[in-house]
Amino acid sequence: MSTSFQNIKGTFDILPDAYTDDGGTRVAPTAEWRYVERTVRDVMARYNLEEIRTPVLEPTDLVARGVGAGTDIVQKEMFAFERAGTNYVLRPEVTAPVVRSFLQHHLDQRGGVQKLFYIGPCFRAEQPQKGRYRQFHQFGIEILGTDDARADAETIAIMTAIYDALGISDTRLRINTLGTPDRREKYVEALREYLEPYADELSETSQRRLEANPLRVLDTKLEHEQKILQEAPQLIEYVSDESLAHYDRVKELLADLDVAYVEDPLLVRGLDYYTETTFELEGADLGAQSALAGGGRYDRLAEVLGSDEPVPATGFAAGMERLFLALDAAEADRPKGPAADVFIAALGEKAERWVFQTTQDLREAGLHVALDLKGRSLKAQMREANRQAADYTLIIGGNELDAEKATVKEMESGDQVEVPFDELTDYLTTKCDVDGA
Ligand code: HAM
């Protein structure tokens, strides 16, 4: 079979079976996505977070202002379009949308600190490669309404707990503080002044960053640029005593929780809203796209989005696709999809009808039942029973209908028993440990 259509570059289908995409990356099957999502939800529940779901479409201005006009995301990576005078963007991240929703629905009025989590697709028009897609999936959290260092530490602890729960241990947590925006501005001026004489030696990307967002030059992976930066002024020298005290407290709390970290004074992150603590979790063996997750504090974002009061907040987001790369690298266990409890093969029209009706009864009793919907040969039906990995198989033909008894075969042992039709539901629900509906 064929079609002239293909999925859009940088997107991918998630199928019942695993497969390898054009770039040679294994795409996990739906059952594994569900397992990861379930684990994420379990950890979120343990840490007392509530789920929020915001639209995939947001006003372009929300992202432009929230994430920052000078960022790569806003300058180059937005899927934005106009329709009948409204500007839409496919959300490139979820923090700005969550803060919008928090402000719009006055979630502060629920009282206390709001601890929210999300799982869903995001969109960035990046050059696709291993671990980097145009439609990807993030899970993350936002803790809104507290400037307490415990919120920073808890954010990081939740993030690492998820990777621990999935058996991904080969990770490295880098942390840094960006201080407050006023101090950072002074630092950016000093950094720009220091870098300008070197402008000709910088790559095109770094030259552009020097113009739009000099802090991002610190992010360079180029050795000769890293050398230039060795003598550059250090952000930490510009950070206030208050910010340093907050940062020290975060580090103390991480130590209390046995969360290992390394300090990285060059960690600046690619979004403009951060203040104070920032962090990134890296995986081993992931190649160029080594960032599994990242986040930090963003105490001014609510005001940038129009709030008349500050909403101190912290959060992180993680990429699901990179998490799967790390799961593969760690060869961590993953459950298979649920197998059918029972497969019922039918021989002949009369049997087909009986099987169709009985299947319904068994399903109503809570059993996971598979059958043939195509009138295929017994051999083909048995192949299907194997593919479905059914625990029990029944073959119903004229003889069974006359005797009102079914031969039930336990596939693993090969044992067979005869069960009268009127005892079938009880027999199978007991054997398959199903409670009944
Ligand atoms: P981010 O670092 O831009 O942060 O993205 C978080 C994670 O999303 C990355 O570490 C990466 O795993 C994944 N990711 C990003 N872009 C792609 C892509 N094109 N393909 C595959 N995976 C990708 C944020 O988005 C912030 N909103 C995090 C945050 C939450 N900060 C505070 N609260």
Tens digit of each residue's pLDDT (9 = 90 or more) over 141-199: 999 999 999 999 999 999 999 999 999 999 999 999 999 999 999 999 999 999 999 99
Q: How high is the pLDDT of residue 436?
A: 56
Ligand 1 pocket check: which of 271, 278, 301 to mutate, most ligand atoms within 8 Å of Cβ? Answer: 271
Residue 22 vs residue 97, higher pLDDT: 97
Q: Lowest mean pLDDT of 6-20, 59-73, 207-221, 418-432, name the range.
A: 207-221
Q: Is the dihedral of CA 133, 135, 140, 144 positive or negative?
A: positive
CA 279 – CA 159 distance, rounded (Å): 11
| Confidence category of residue 326, pLDDT binned at 50, 70, 90 | very high
Q: What is the pLDDT of residues 100-146, one digit of tens each?
A: 999 999 999 999 999 999 999 999 999 999 999 999 999 999 999 99
Is residue 283 within 8 Å of 173, Cβ to Cβ? Answer: no
CA 106 – CA 100 distance, rounded (Å): 10
| Confidence category of residue 219, pLDDT binned at 50, 70, 90 | confident
> What is the number of the ligand 1 atom nearest to the C-alpha of 269?
2
Taking the CA atoms of residue 104, residue 110, residue 115 and residue 118 in that order, the dihedral angle to the nearest 10 degrees is: -50
Amino acid at 58: E
Q: pLDDT exceeding 90 applies to what percent of the chain?
A: 90
Residue of the nearest CA to atom 20 in ligand 1?
132
CA 36 – CA 324 distance, rounded (Å): 9
Q: What is the pLDDT of residues 229-263, one digit of tens each?
A: 999 999 999 999 999 999 999 999 999 999 999 99
Where are the alpha helices (H) located in 221-377, listed in sequence order? 223-229, 241-256, 301-304, 320-330, 349-364
Q: Is the pLDDT of residue 47 over 80?
A: yes
Q: Is the pLDDT of residue 437 over 70?
A: no
Is residue 163 within 8 Å of 171, Cβ to Cβ? Answer: yes
| Confidence category of residue 212, pLDDT binned at 50, 70, 90 | confident
CA 202 – CA 5 distance, rounded (Å): 42
Q: Lowest mean pLDDT of 5-14, 73-82, 330-339, 356-365, name the range.
A: 330-339
Q: Is the pLDDT of residue 264 over 70?
A: yes
Residues in the chain: 437
Residue of the nearest CA to atom 1 in ligand 1?
294
Residue of the nearest CA to atom 21 in ligand 1?
132
Q: How high is the pLDDT of residue 285?
A: 72
Compute CA 262 distance to the chain's CA centroid, rounded to the nearest angstrom. 24
| Confidence category of residue 338, pLDDT binned at 50, 70, 90 | confident
Helix (H) or strand (E) holding 116: strand 114-123
Q: Is the pLDDT of residue 18 over 60?
A: yes
Residue 405 is encoded by which pair of tokens? 């008894």
Q: How many helices (H) and strands (E) does the chain have?
A: 15, 18
Residues enclosing ligand 1, CB less than 6 A?
A: 93-95, 124, 126, 131-133, 136, 138, 140, 142, 270-271, 291-296, 298, 315-319, 321-322
Which domains does the chain show, CATH number per domain? 19-180+239-330 (3.30.930.10), 342-431 (3.40.50.800)
Ligand 1 pocket check: which of 322, 323, 324, 325 to mutate, most ligand atoms within 8 Å of Cβ? Answer: 322
Q: Is the pLDDT of residue 288 over 80?
A: no
Q: Is the pLDDT of residue 346 over 90?
A: yes
Q: How high is the pLDDT of residue 213?
A: 85
Lookup result for tokens 């407290």: 249
Mean pLDDT of the 329-339 span: 87
Task: Give residue 131 CA to ligand 1 midpoint distance, Å.
Answer: 11
**Coil, helix or strand at residue 286:** coil
Total-model pTM: 0.94
| Confidence category of residue 286, pLDDT binned at 50, 70, 90 | confident
Mean pLDDT of the 381-409 span: 95
